[in-house]
Chain A
Amino acid sequence: MKPRTNEVVFSLLHVLSWIFFIGLCIEAGVLIFNFLFTFFNPIASHNIYKGLDLSNIYENQFPHYIGLMGFVVVLAVLKAYIFYLVVQICLKLNLVKPFDCKIAKLIEKLSFEAMAIAVLSFIAHLYTEHFIPDGFEVSDVENYWDDGAAFLMMAAILLVISHVFRRGIALQNENDLTV
């Protein structure tokens, strides 16, 4: 790819990552607010966010409601944080000299964050499958953690990239100190 094309694609990615970050922040904020709001106004549990109805479980199994909403909120916050890290990478990445320790650390952090989301999604899935008594409708809430496998794959790829990046830093340092 030509350097000019690279810059355009990179700028586009930067803008997109900001849009995703702001969107996910809003989603996480709304979920937290609505979750807390349902404590004072139980009717809100009929439509917590985008038609998510946990009123039945709220009325009959309140601790499980807190557990489910806890998973939903934590996952939403983690997803927003992942995009915060992507934005940070876009801000700090220098395309002329890309191999930087800060970027390597951010990529590694991103990988661990994706891994955390994958593990948490898996735990949340097990929780809904085994601990929620039969008869409660939880299919809506499953949408919030059905992408765990994708995050696991993303974590593995990012981990490999971060290791390659560290090798790149070593090579760049060596190149800088070659006269």
Chain B
Amino acid sequence: MPIIVNLDVMMAKRKMSLNELSDKVGLTLSNLSILKTGKAKAIRFSTLESICKVLACQPGDIIAYVPEGTKILYP
């Protein structure tokens, strides 16, 4: 899917663990894991709002559009 989730990148930047994020956002660990691994089919605005609030970031920092076939080079 061309939409990728960069939640793990933002979590690493904020030095936040999945458990901590789960507690602060109010999402279950399994749901957060679904989102982090890119298995999620949809994300509610309310969830996105909570994550952005906790991680102090913009929605674009968490999800991004990458055209298919593009190689992603992580630093």
Contact = CB atoms under 8 A, between A and B. Distances in A.
Nearest to B27: A179
A33 B48 CA distance: 68
A1 B27 CA distance: 31
A8 interface: no
A178 interface: yes
A98 B35 CA distance: 25
Q: How large is the interface on A (under 10, 10 to 19, 20 to 34, 35 or more residues)?
A: under 10
Interface string A150-179: 000000000000000000000001100111
Interface stretch (B36-44, B53-61, B65-73): B36-44
- Specify the main secondary structure of chain A where it touches its partner: mixed
A169 B31 CA distance: 19
Contacts of B34: 177, 179
B28 to A, nearest CB: 9
A174 B39 CA distance: 11
Contact of A177 (B27, B32, B41, B47): B41
A176 to B, nearest CB: 9
B39 A178 contact: no
Given A179-B31, A179-B40, 11 more contacts: A174-B41, A174-B42, A177-B34, A177-B40, A177-B42, A178-B42, A178-B43, A178-B44, A179-B27, A179-B42, A179-B44
